[in-house]
Structure 1
Amino acid sequence: MIEWFKELMTLGYWTDMLNQISSMGMFAGVGLAMIEAFFPPLPLILFVTINVMAFGFWTGYLYSWLGSCIGSIIVFLVIKKFGQKRFQQKIAKNEKIYNIFNWIKDKGFTPIFFLLTFPFTPSIVVCGLAALAGIKNREYISALVLGKLIMIFSLSFIGFNIRAFVEKPLKSILLISITFAISLIGKKVIKLFEKKYEKKTSTKNEKLPAKAA
């Protein structure tokens, strides 16, 4: 195990791995990006970085985008078909998630696209909420492919320039600052919508007639 970790830290190990992935072609690149859709704890940026290093920026970007979209569509369709009752009960217990769920259910395309443009949004959460909200397949896929175009591009840019960030720390600090600022703005916008739908839900509950004893 120790020897494996030592090998993992060598440049030769990663060079060999990138060469192997590159030799396997499109299926390896697309398959790598699909993994994150089914196993959210695995960082998508890792697979995107491997792809752009193995295939070059634009080809790696395309493979990563295709794989991420295909994986997210499969997850969406599976949850929509089999996960309605099971997951809806869990959503109702989490006020924050429930408010985002109502936002997606009410607005459809816009929140799905918006959430999926941010680099570190867990795609499975957005897929699941969209499926449970009953969003039409065409509407979801349209928002997904456009949102992922932006998300995967930003991750590809970071991954492709990772060596330059080490050699030029100022460039790294600038990009990290921009990414942090965008994430912060996104979180604030999401919180505004959460509050809006929290008030909307509370108002609806107040208007409901009381049940007779």
Structure 2
Amino acid sequence: MDIEVIRTWFTLDNIMKLIQEYRALGPLPGIGLTILEAFLPFLPLVVFVMANANAFGLWLGFLYSWLGACVGAFLVFSLIRRFGQKRLLMFFSRHPKVRKLMDWVDCHGFGPLFLLLCFPFTPSAIVNIVAGLSKLSAAQYMLAVIIGKMVMIFTMSFIGYDLHSLITQPYRTAIVLGIIFILWYVGKRIEVRLNKSLETADNGERDAINKSRKRRGFNEQ
């Protein structure tokens, strides 16, 4: 089945109906959807979070979305950490950009990873995979996930909690759009700095190799 066809079904109305249909299961559908998104990153996490906020209220909706997102991230991290060296998943670690990101995470650790996870525009699936393949400890990663996703999920929940007021009260819409723009801008700046750091590390590695070759050539002479 085409991924785009699947994505078009996951609208806020459809997810709200799904949660209401399985209301007898309590928060499990809402938690399960955010766990599922960790394994299928093409699914719209923001829609799941907004649906939870509308179905269960701001605070409970935030709690269920946050719990599901953290559990999903840890499951993906654990699976990649456990089976990352198997032939089936070796192509991840062999990809040049993934390899550079792994080295960057190993070098910088918790802080930048936490910032990346704060922003809804960060591809969290890639972050989960890279962290699983890196040498970062599980405790460090889960701390970054728990705090970073707390910021991200609460922002989404706040936006989705009362969509009607966003339409009827223009100033709230302006505030939300401002928050989204700031998150997007800061996320892009982090991405730029990340790319520069990767390029600098790559250039430094090449310089070290060239210097080593020159020394060997000098010694042979």
TM-score by length of structure 2 reads: 0.81
| Alpha-carbon distance in 1 for matches of 2:162, 2:100 | 37
1:121 alignment partner, SS class: coil
> What do the CA deviations read for 1:166-200 (whole angstroms, capped 9, x no partner)?
22234213311221122112211331232133112
Aligned runs of 1:194-213 on 2, under 5 Å? 194-208=195-209, 209-210=212-213
Shift of 1:147: 0.5
| Alpha-carbon distance in 2 for matches of 1:55, 1:181 | 28
| Alpha-carbon distance in 2 for matches of 1:33, 1:14 | 12
2:43 alignment partner, SS class: coil
> Residue 206 and residue 37 in structure 1: after superposition, are their counterparts in 2 closer, same or farther (change >3 A)?
same
1:5 corresponding residue in structure 2: none
Q: State whether residues 52 and 60 of structure 1, in contact with CA within 8 Å, keep that contact through their aligned partners in structure 2.
A: yes
Say if 2:129 is the partner of 1:128.
Answer: yes
Instruction: Supply the RMSD in Å over aligned alpha carbons.
Output: 2.3
The one of 57, 71, 92 aligned to 1:87: 92
| Alpha-carbon distance in 2 for matches of 1:104, 1:143 | 12
Shift of 1:117: 0.3
> What do the CA deviations read for 1:94-149 (whole angstroms, capped 9, x no partner)?
3xx55443321211111221110002222111101111112111111111111111
Aligned runs of 1:166-177 on 2, under 5 Å? 166-177=167-178
Shift of 1:50: 1.3
Q: State whether residues 109 and 143 of structure 1, in contact with CA within 8 Å, keep that contact through their aligned partners in structure 2.
A: yes
Aligned length, in residue pairs: 199
1:135 alignment partner, SS class: coil
| Equivalent AA in structure 2 for residue 86 of structure 1 | F
| Alpha-carbon distance in 2 for matches of 1:129, 1:18 | 32
Point out 4+ residue stretches in structure 1 off by more than 6 angstroms: none
2:189 corresponding residue in structure 1: 188
Say if 2:33 is the partner of 1:28.
Answer: no
Uncovered stretches (5+) of structure 2, i.e. residues with no partner: 1-9
| Alpha-carbon distance in 2 for matches of 1:141, 1:82 | 18
2:141 corresponding residue in structure 1: 140
Q: State whether residues 50 and 156 of structure 2, in contact with CA within 8 Å, keep that contact through their aligned partners in structure 1.
A: yes
After superposing the two structures, state which structure 1 stretch, 79-88 or 156-165, moved more. 79-88
> What do the CA deviations read for 1:69-102 (whole angstroms, capped 9, x no partner)?
1011111111122224321112x1x3xx554433
> Residue 21 and residue 46 in structure 1: after superposition, are their counterparts in 2 closer, same or farther (change >3 A)?
farther
TM-score by length of structure 1 reads: 0.83
1:120 alignment partner, SS class: coil
| Equivalent AA in structure 1 for residue 49 of structure 2 | V
